[in-house]
Amino acid sequence: MRLPEELRRAIEREVAAVDARLLPRAARELSQRYQEGEPSALRSPAHLAAYLQTRLPATFAANRRVFEEVAARMPGLAPRSLLDLGAGPGTSMWAAAETFPGLEKITLVEREAPLVVAGRRVAAQSRHPAVVGAQWLQQDVLAKAAGEPHDLVVISYALAEISEKATAQFLRAAWDAAATLLVILEPGTPAGFARVLAARTALLDWGAHLVAPCPHAEACPMAEASDWCHFAVRLERSAAHRRLKQGALGYEDEKFSYLVAGRAPVELPAARVIRHPLIRPGHIQLTLCTASRLEQRTVTKSRKDVYRQARQAEWGAPWSD
Ligand SMILES: C[S@@+](CC[C@H](N)C(=O)[O-])C[C@H]1O[C@@H](n2cnc3c(N)ncnc32)[C@H](O)[C@@H]1O
């Protein structure tokens, strides 16, 4: 997964405006806070630049992957409006505009002024008129989550930063604002998944229909197995990103948990692949989430069509046979 070229260039410009000597330390601090599940705390221009260069590509890739899954599950979907709550520098908007170019109206709510200022500047470089013309609201989502309905409402990597006490009310307001879909993304950690699972329970109580990743609305078998449901997306690292992360690899894998809930029922797949398929001589082993349980499925070459499907199935893909 790569960033759109104009976004990559706009980030480079933001980063070039900061003293390069301050970036490695800022990137290390951000990475440490992220791994400890702490809020990003973009305390300085260097932290903001490091965030744009190291974290934005990862959350962009996760968002893009989720929107692609939404588009696959709902082929006729053509959302016209997007509300992003806890928008940071506008990452989800960029990913949504790539998947849904028919977006006309985008509203972003973000508490931190430096992110709003940088996000606006970066968005001005987009080739999508809706991204350029997005409305940025610098305010607390707890004050603003409700409001005018939007086709898509997104909460991306932001639930962790809402106090536990306020989460249910915030989610309810986000759901009330979602005319078609509410999309929630979290880090692919046990804590991130726990937040997604709590949102799943609440949304089902409120009459929401699940769109992805769950192939059913029964009790979550991952939770019952004390496991956590998460997926991964591989993103290219730019040369500057590699230098900053002191990573030799030209890519990184971003792990994420997510939930998409909608107003109307959609056809769900029979199952979802929830681990990397294990390709063995003569057979492939799949771990599937099905309507009733987690299931280990061995697909042998004797079932040609199913075997071919299994060869192409990736972690996170829907599965029917
Ligand atoms: C980890 S960042 C994620 C940014 C972006 N959504 C993404 O996926 O890249 C979380 C963002 O939520 C914002 N945030 C946290 N609590 C907030 C609140 N109560 N109101 C508005 N924004 C909030 C933070 O300032 C931060 O920019």
CB 272 within 8 A of CB 215: yes
Q: Is 111 in the pocket of ligand 1 (CB under 6 A)?
A: yes
CB 286 within 8 A of CB 277: yes
What's the CA angle centered on 160, arms 159 and 164, to 5 degrees?
Answer: 85
Pairing status of strand 81-85 against strand 283-290: unpaired
Q: Which whole number is the average pLDDT over 192-198?
A: 96
CB 189 within 8 A of CB 37: yes
Q: What is the residue-averaged pLDDT of the chain?
A: 91
| pLDDT band (50, 70, 90) for residue 79 | very high
Asked whether the predicted pLDDT for residue 204 surpasses 80, the reply is yes
| CA of 110 relative to ligand 1 center, distance in Å | 6
Using CB atoms within 10 Å of the CB of residue 193, give its burial: 0 to 12 exposed, 13 to 18 middle, 19+ buried: buried
User: Which one of 110, 164, 233 would you pick to mutate in the ligand 1 pocket, going by the greatest count of ligand atoms within 8 A of its CB?
Assistant: 110
More confident residue, 51 or 29: 51
| pLDDT band (50, 70, 90) for residue 181 | very high
Q: 76-97 in b/e burial notation, b at 16+ Cβ within 10 A? A: ebebbbbbbbbbbbbbbbbbbb
More confident residue, 303 or 97: 97
| CA of 241 relative to ligand 1 center, distance in Å | 22
Q: What is the pLDDT of residue 40?
A: 64
Q: What is the pLDDT of residue 289?
A: 95
More confident residue, 262 or 245: 262
Percentages helix, strand, coil for the chain, rounded to the nearest 5? 45, 25, 35
| CA of 280 relative to ligand 1 center, distance in Å | 43
For residues 157 and 261, what is the distance between their CA atoms, to the nearest angstrom? 17
Q: Which whole number is the average pLDDT over 254-266?
A: 97
In this predicted model, what pLDDT tens digit does every residue of 139-167 receive, in sequence order?
A: 999 986 567 899 999 999 999 999 889 99
Pairing status of strand 105-110 against strand 81-85: parallel
Q: Is 254 in the pocket of ligand 1 (CB under 6 A)?
A: no
Q: What is the pLDDT of residue 246?
A: 66
Tokens 């900053």 label which residue? Answer: 244
Please give the share of the chain, as a percent, with pLDDT higher than 90.
Answer: 69
CB 150 within 8 A of CB 81: yes
Q: What is the pLDDT of residue 6?
A: 96
For residues 46 and 75, what is the distance between their CA atoms, to the nearest angstrom? 41
φ/ψ bin of 207: left (φ > 0), alpha (ψ from -120 to 50), beta (otherwise): left
CB 44 within 8 A of CB 22: yes
More confident residue, 136 or 320: 136
User: Which one of 36, 111, 116, 153 would you pick to mutate in the ligand 1 pocket, going by the greatest count of ligand atoms within 8 A of its CB?
Assistant: 111
Q: What is the DSSP letter of 24?
A: H
| CA of 289 relative to ligand 1 center, distance in Å | 31
Q: Which whole number is the average pLDDT over 114-124?
A: 95
Q: What is the pLDDT of residue 31?
A: 78
For residues 42 and 59, what is the distance between their CA atoms, to the nearest angstrom? 16
- How many other C-beta atoms can be found within 10 angstroms of the C-beta atom of residue 111? 18
| pLDDT band (50, 70, 90) for residue 245 | low
CB 6 within 8 A of CB 125: yes
Q: Which whole number is the average pLDDT over 212-225?
A: 91
- How many other C-beta atoms can be found within 10 angstroms of the C-beta atom of residue 271? 22
What's the CA angle centered on 146, arms 145 and 147, to 5 degrees?
Answer: 120
**DSSP-assigned beta bridge partners for residue 318:** 272
Q: What is the pLDDT of residue 146?
A: 63
Q: Which whole number is the average pLDDT over 107-124?
A: 94
| pLDDT band (50, 70, 90) for residue 248 | low
For residues 257 and 309, what is the distance between their CA atoms, to the nearest angstrom? 24
Asked whether the predicted pLDDT for residue 17 surpasses 90, the reply is no
